[in-house]
Amino acid sequence: MEKILEIQGLSKDFFLHEQKREIKSCRDISFALDKGGFIGIVGTSGAGKSTVLRCIYRTYLATTGSVIYDSLSYGKLDLVTASERQIIHLRKAEMGYVSQFLSILPRTTARQHVINGALDAGFSYEEASQKAEEMLRYFKLHENLWDIYPNTFSGGEKLRLNLAHAMVKAPRLLLLDEPTASLDNHTKRLVKELLAKLKSEGTSMIGIFHDLEFMEGLCDKVYNISQGTFC
Amino acid sequence: METPVLRIDHLTVRYGKTCDYCRNGGELHKNTCPRCKTVWACNDMNVKLYEGEILGIVGESGSGKSTLMKSLFFDFDVTEGSGFLRDFGGGEADIFAQSLQQKKYIKNHLMGMVYQNPMLGLRMDYSSAGNIAEKLIAAGQRSFSGMNERVEELLDAVEILQSRKKEPPKNFSGGMQQRVQISKALANNPAILLLDEVTTGLDLSVQAKVLELIREIRQRFHISIMLVSHDLAVIRMLADRTIVMLDGKIIEQGLTDQILDDPQQPYTQQLVHSLL
């Protein structure tokens, strides 16, 4: 099976200058993600799950190791050492990151937020508007909510808006950082259905979940991370 | 390899005569030479700005952020270093070494500047339309109807009512003055927009309008923006990449989320940890 992502010996340490302390997060993580595959990561809080995801997305600079991504734009490249401009392009065109938190410009409606995602990816305004509507519908966000500011949305609505924003670019690689935390069972089921649909359409995904039941039938592999290493 | 729209090499702005000690890399007290008291406001800065990106610049007061912006707009003389614009002189002509006339051409055609203090960017007694028209005239526009049309278009873009275009900016609120400044800076479709603390001192709802406007400008005109701000939330929302300055030097630069979530330098960590 062709790999979209190969992670080798990934470690991340944080050095806090004021406290003169080094915090070791994930240690020597290695795994590979098949094209169209879904890997689940579980582990206790503080075990280093999000650190792995953030090192892949380059929000964190990995201390050692490599993250080889098979991109459409540049071929195989190491996300740890790729230039900032390359990362910005990949984030706009190929990679998506979804968390339970919504980060949105003030005075931006749900619809506009998704349109902005599509505009970033290079679509014209008309195409972006059309794609945004498709996505909002796909993620079952009620039409009444499209033209209001999302600050008042429930957790599940915010998450589905985040998913719509990330998926409007049709990323090849989707990173899910505890997207189901704080969701009720009904919304979780809905999100699970939507993720299964994305998977069947070929999106490669890595997700952090607390809920083993949620991952059943969805993830091809599940890794358990404890004290920064896979166990 | 992508060509930046603006490249600055080894930019240094100094006030003072310098001495052997500071010229040879002797340690400065903040940005001041302890022996000859020369102030190194910008010290050997290298910056690249790419097409369509927003580059955030953060740092404490006195770190040289505004000096950098004002030097780029030729308000301050550069002591050393060079700057190159992709759209000027085939990308090979040092903009700081140009004649006054060429510098005026660059200011009027290729760059726009919005100052923290609207008094610096606007003539407070002229009408708002007149302020914008002044920039159009400087770029060679002579047709009254053409100018009028452009002024209306620009005021619409920044959501200022046409009925108020004849009023001088001194009658306007701070947020409106900033929006007139932005429309003036955009008058001649510059490739680069320099924004120096444009949201500082504005109330939240007006700040939101200005932020929305900046995002729209980038999307509509595919313009490259250098954005100085104290407000890290503004930087996180808008900037693709961020530069951190301290005592006239760039101490750290990277992707905005990386700078804010995984800062490497002691000062940047202190700055991020000071966030409310």
CATH number of the domain where residue A40 is located: 3.40.50.300
Residue B201: the pLDDT is 75
Q: Give the residue extent of every domain in chain B.
A: 6-273
Is A127 part of any domain?
Answer: no
In one-letter notation, the amino acid at residue B81 is G
Task: Supply B77's token pair.
Answer: 């003389």
Helix axes B144-157, B174-186, angle to 10 degrees: 130
A107 touches chain B (CB under 8 A): yes
Contacts of B212 in chain A (CB under 8 A): 105-108
Query: Parallel, antiparallel, or unpaired: how do β-strands A64-71 and A75-78 relate?
Result: antiparallel
At B174-214, the pLDDT tens digits run 889 999 999 999 999 999 999 999 888 778 887 888 888 88
Closest CA in chain A for residue B255? A84
**CB-defined contacts A:B, below 8 A:** 58
Report DSSP state, residue B175: H
B249 touches chain A (CB under 8 A): no
Task: Give strand pairing partners of A32.
Answer: A6
Q: Give every residue of chain B whose pLDDT is below 70, as ranges.
A: none
At A125-183, the pLDDT tens digits run 999 999 999 999 988 899 999 999 998 898 888 988 998 999 898 899 999 998 887 77
Q: Distance between CA atoms of A61 and A80, rounded to whole angstroms?
A: 7
Torsion of CA A7, A91, A134, A176, to 10 degrees: 40
The answer to whether the Cβ–Cβ distance between A84 and B255 falls below 8 Å is yes
Q: Distance between CA atoms of A174 and B276, rounded to whole angstroms?
A: 31
| Partner B, chain A 206-225, Cβ-Cβ below 8 Å | none
The answer to whether the Cβ–Cβ distance between A107 and B53 falls below 8 Å is no
Residue partners of B208: CB distance under 8 A and separation at least 6: A105, A106, A107
At A70-97, the pLDDT tens digits run 999 999 999 999 999 999 999 999 999 9
A72 touches chain B (CB under 8 A): no
The answer to whether the Cβ–Cβ distance between B262 and A103 falls below 8 Å is no
Specify the higher pLDDT residue, A221 or A184. A221
Contacts of A107 in chain B (CB under 8 A): 208-209, 211-212
A2 touches chain B (CB under 8 A): no
B211 touches chain A (CB under 8 A): yes
User: For chain B, what is the total number of helices (H) and then of strands (E)?
Assistant: 11, 9
Residue A20 DSSP SS3 = coil
Is A46 part of any domain?
Answer: yes
Best probe of the A interface among B257, B272, B273, by most A CBs < 10 A, is B257
Is A81 part of any domain?
Answer: yes
Select from A73, A88, A6 the least CA-distant residue to A39: A6
Q: Distance between CA atoms of A93 and A166, rounded to whole angstroms?
A: 10
A97 touches chain B (CB under 8 A): no
Q: Distance between CA atoms of B175 and B214, rounded to whole angstroms?
A: 13
At A16-68, the pLDDT tens digits run 999 999 999 999 999 999 999 999 999 888 889 999 999 999 999 999 999 99
Radius of gyration of chain A (CA): 18
B261 touches chain A (CB under 8 A): yes
Domain B6-273 sits in CATH 3.40.50.300:
yes
Q: Distance between CA atoms of A182 and B253, rounded to whole angstroms?
A: 35
* 8 Å CB contact between B49 and B69: no
Closest CA in chain A for residue B266? A17
Residue A220: the pLDDT is 94
A60 touches chain B (CB under 8 A): yes
The answer to whether the Cβ–Cβ distance between A107 and B2 falls below 8 Å is no
* 8 Å CB contact between A173 and A91: no
Q: Name the residue with tokens 């209001």.
A: A148
| Structural domain for A81, as ranges | 1-94+175-180+205-231
Residue partners of B218: CB distance under 8 A and separation at least 6: B52, B54, B225
Where are the strands (E) in B50-100, listed by range? 54-59, 80-85
Q: Distance between CA atoms of A191 and A188, rounded to whole angstroms?
A: 5
B264 touches chain A (CB under 8 A): yes
Residue B244: the pLDDT is 97
A116 touches chain B (CB under 8 A): yes
Number of domains composing chain A? 1
The complex scores an ipTM of 0.91
Residue B150 DSSP SS3 = helix
Please report which confidence band the pLDDT of residue A189 belongs to, taking 50, 70 and 90 as the band edges. confident
Query: Parallel, antiparallel, or unpaired: how do β-strands B54-59 and B241-246 relate?
Result: parallel
Phi, psi of A24 (to 5 degrees): -90, 125
